[in-house]
């Protein structure tokens, strides 16, 4: 995968409104026929005016090498990024977009895959369903939405995915409803599950999947994780060059590093997007993010939320 630090000025080649106040946007390079490759579950950073950066999952087909597709839900009580996109972006617009990165990758396995999406959480899940369908791997996609008239990407799902693998559950159509706990109650051998959606949905699925073995449940969240609430302690960051940066109890590692002149990109500043991720060389981190995998926690660090005990050495 190309470096996410690469920022490309892509052209909007299609923009269509979908139910649920969602704008689906196709992006192509103005000159190059091929974009950096992506895997199912990947997202891109979209760079907006005033230094805002927003993450959107790629919901198109990973084998289509010349086009990225994102779906932007307008969040009227959000931080303004989605509203700006809805009001400003049209066919012919230019959007600065990073190369894709993936914190929500499909793990190879022979067992069945259960894909669960709530609302706009369908975007990474749709790319996963496409990939599994292409590989002829067994999967089921369950899409939970409030109602047919509010459901984005319905036609795309019906047109592109094998019908037998897809179940759509509308809150306002009782005959389609599905109890999530019942769905996850019995795990078939080697099954894995992947889920993404709004906070309430994430909590319900998380509880229902508690009895699944470690490493078989994967999710991507839009919300910062909860932590124990213990008051933050000061710690020290040692940079690769040997310089030392003090992080007081009142600030974040990200803010302290920036104040010391270390240029770091950031977006959510909530530990959910991974934009500020950096390499860790040594130390005892206190991870408080929602993006790093268990394996990555041994050598990566998210300075907008995570802290440490004592001295933490970063490769910066």
Give the binding site for ligand FES (CB under 6 A): 266-269, 271-276, 289, 291, 302, 304
Tell me the closest approach of the beta carbon of residue 43 to ligand FES, in angstroms.
Answer: 11
Tell me the closest approach of the beta carbon of residue 178 to ligand FES, in angstroms.
Answer: 32
Quote the CA–CA distance of 265 and 101 in Å, as a whole number: 15
Quote the CA–CA distance of 316 and 302 in Å, as a whole number: 13
Nearer to ligand FES, 82 or 267 (CB): 267
Nearer to ligand FES, 43 or 187 (CB): 43
The strand order across the sheet containing 278-286 reads: 244-247, 235-238, 307-314, 278-286, 300-301
Helix then strand then coil, % of the chain, to nearest 5: 20, 30, 50
Tell me the closest approach of the beta carbon of residue 99 to ligand FES, in angstroms.
Answer: 17
Quote the CA–CA distance of 63 and 45 in Å, as a whole number: 20
Nearer to ligand FES, 113 or 267 (CB): 267
Nearer to ligand FES, 12 or 278 (CB): 278
Tell me the closest approach of the beta carbon of residue 270 to ligand FES, in angstroms.
Answer: 6
Residues in CB range of 45: below 8 A, 6 or more apart? 4, 53, 54, 55, 97, 98, 267, 273, 275
181 backbone dihedrals φ, ψ, rounded to 5° = -60, -40
Tell me the closest approach of the beta carbon of residue 52 to ligand FES, in angstroms.
Answer: 12
Nearer to ligand FES, 187 or 287 (CB): 287
């Amino acid at each position: 995968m190309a470096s996410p630090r690469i920022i490309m000025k892509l052209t909007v080649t299609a923009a269509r409104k979908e139910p649920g106040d969602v704008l689906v946007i196709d992006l192509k390079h103005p000159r190059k026929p091929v974009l950096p490759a992506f895997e199912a579950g990947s997202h891109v950073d979209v760079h907006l005016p005033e230094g805002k950066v927003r993450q959107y999952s790629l919901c198109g087909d990973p084998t289509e090498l010349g086009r990225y597709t994102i779906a932007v839900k307008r969040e009227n009580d959000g931080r303004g990024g989605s509203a700006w996109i809805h009001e400003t972006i049209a066919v012919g617009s230019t959007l600065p977009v990073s190369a894709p990165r993936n914190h929500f990758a499909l793990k190879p396995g022979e067992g069945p895959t259960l894909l669960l999406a709530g609302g706009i959480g369908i975007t990474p899940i749709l790319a996963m369903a496409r990939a599994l369908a292409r590989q002829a791997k067994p999967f089921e996609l369950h899409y939970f939405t409030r109602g047919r008239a509010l459901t984005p990407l319905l036609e795309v799902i019906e047109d592109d995915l094998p019908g037998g693998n897809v179940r759509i559950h509308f809150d306002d159509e009782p005959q389609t409803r599905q109890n999530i706990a019942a769905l996850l109650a019995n795990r078939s051998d080697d099954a894995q599950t992947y889920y993404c959606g709004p906070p309430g949905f994430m909590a319900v699925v998380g509880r229902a999947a508690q009895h699944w073995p470690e490493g078989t449940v994967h999710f991507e969240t839009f919300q910062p994780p909860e932590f124990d609430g213990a008051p933050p302690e000061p710690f020290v960051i040692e940079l690769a060059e040997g310089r030392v940066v003090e992080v007081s109890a009142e600030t974040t590692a990200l803010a302290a590093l920036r104040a010391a002149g270390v240029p770091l990109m950031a977006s959510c500043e909530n530990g959910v997007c991974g934009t500020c991720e950096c390499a860790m060389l040594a130390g005892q981190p206190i991870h408080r993010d929602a993006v790093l995998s268990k394996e990555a926690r041994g050598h990566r660090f998210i300075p907008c939320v995570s802290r440490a005990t004592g001295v933490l050495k970063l490769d910066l």
